[in-house]
Amino acid sequence: MTIKVAIAGASGYAGGEILRLLLNHPAYLAGELEIGALTASSTVGSTLGELMPHLPQLADRVIEDTTPEVLSGHDVVFLGLPHGFSAEIALQLGHDVTVIDCAADFRLQNAADWERYYGSEHQGTWPYGIPEMPGHREQLKGAKRIAVPGCFPTGATLALLPAVQAGLIEPNVSVVSITGVSGAGKKANVAMLGAETMGSLKAYNVAGKHRHTPEIAQNLAEVTAEKVTVSFTPVLAPLPRGILTTATAPLKGEVTAEQARKVYEDFYAQETFVHVLAPGVQPQTQSVVGSNMCHVQVEVDADSGKLLLTSVIDNLTKGTAGAAIQCMNLSLGYAESAGLPQAGVAP
């Protein structure tokens, strides 16, 4: 049986990255997976060759309108749409279709959090697509509806989760994430122009305003009975891809660097896509560009009594499209790592 896949929002950054990964998926290369409809809104009628010359295998494909009629008849539909648009489409697709949503529509469990941060009615919660979180891999296997996590929560969650679960820290965490401009999407935006971003750093949506704040807190709360608080500050940096996250939290009692490292090494020992770096080696975004990896470092700041966690991901791969493919693999019964690179592009 050939699996037929559609991508809504195919001309955006997330959609293009999903396509890049699918083109190297072993099921596609074996003729067992077919790339079907590619849809969008403002680019309808354009060819992929015009929009994404880095995907020559699909250069002649024409972007269609995003409608349930075009997307129906596929086995898997990836939704790379703006927040708030996925629910309407998903409700019109059959329950036999695997729908993988890269927007935020179904990530949050608390309706009040959704309404506060997104300003519309909550449409429900789907299985959440960080397989490395305890219990989530089992939820994702065979799932027909999947919510892909946000890019910031991916880096922050993978950095903090082992420490919170092991009780190394008070779950009162401060997170600063430095991100490339592709995280803002492909839409025209004066603030994202090269002249506005080159040679400059800028914090934005600070003091609890960023929409990913409740998502980070929700993830950490799954592994502790204590109340979780998150102070999250995103910073825009002049690079196309990548997120560097630093997170700090007060230690609970005396914790040595060796003890903290063992917690992380044990937690991630069986995880293909999380790499705990050697002592003294700091994560850097250039190491994970184009890969589905998260690199993590853990250190004890004895003088301040805090644990310092650092992580890096490619926001378009592990942060979005790679996570979506990882979830598809689990849903369909492929090897979880199929089509997902561990090696980054360097220099």
d(CA 274, CA 189): 33
For the beta carbon of residue 272, count every other beta carbon within 10 angstroms.
16
Supply the pTM of this predicted model.
0.94
13-22 vs 322-332: helix crossing angle, rounded to 10:
50
pLDDT at position 294: 98
Which residue in the block uniquely carries the two structure tokens 């690179």? 341
Per DSSP bridges, beta strands 145-147 and 98-101 are parallel
pLDDT at position 163: 97
d(CA 37, CA 71): 7
Question: Using one digit for the tens of pLDDT, what is the confidence trace for 289-301?
Answer: 999 999 999 999 9
∠ at Cα 181 (321, 153), nearest 5°?
50
pLDDT at position 101: 96
d(CA 244, CA 246): 7
pLDDT at position 152: 96
Question: Using one digit for the tens of pLDDT, what is the confidence trace for 214-229?
Answer: 999 999 999 999 999 9
Q: For residue 321, what is the DSSP state?
A: I
Domain with CATH 3.40.50.720 in the chain: 3-148+320-332
Q: Are 314 and 345 a contacting pair, CB within 8 Å? A: no
Return the CATH number of the domain spanning residue range 3-148+320-332: 3.40.50.720
pLDDT at position 71: 94
Helix (H) or strand (E) holding 116: helix 111-118
Measured in whole angstroms, the distance separating CA 229 from the mean position of its chain's CA atoms is 21
pLDDT at position 194: 78
Could you say which residues of the chain have pLDDT below 50?
none
For the beta carbon of residue 74, count every other beta carbon within 10 angstroms.
22
Supply the residues annotated as catalytic: 151
Per DSSP bridges, beta strands 294-301 and 274-276 are parallel
pLDDT at position 216: 97
pLDDT at position 156: 98
The two tokens of residue 247 are 């997170």
Which backbone phi and psi does 247 adopt, to 5 degrees?
Answer: -135, 140
For the beta carbon of residue 279, count every other beta carbon within 10 angstroms.
11
Which residue in the block uniquely carries the two structure tokens 């959090």? 113
Fold topology of 152-313: Dihydrodipicolinate Reductase; domain 2 (3.30.360)
Measured in whole angstroms, the distance separating CA 320 from the mean position of its chain's CA atoms is 4
| DSSP-assigned states of every residue in 285-307 | GGGTTTSS-EEEEEEEETTTTEE
Single-letter code of the amino acid located at 233:
T
Q: From residue 166, how far is each of 219, 225, 253 by CA, in Å?
A: 15, 12, 13
Tell me how long the chain is. Answer: 347
pLDDT at position 50: 94
The two tokens of residue 285 are 């975004």
pLDDT at position 302: 92
Q: From residue 177, how far is each of 82, 144, 245 by CA, in Å?
A: 22, 31, 4
Q: Give 208's strand partners.
A: none
d(CA 134, CA 217): 15
d(CA 316, CA 334): 22
pLDDT at position 339: 97
Domain with CATH 3.30.360.10 in the chain: 152-313
ω into 214 cis (within 30 of 0): no
Instruction: Give Rg (Cα) of the chain.
Output: 20
Closest residue by Cα to residue 337 from 55, 77, 25, 29: 25
Q: How far apart are the first and last CA of the chain?
A: 40
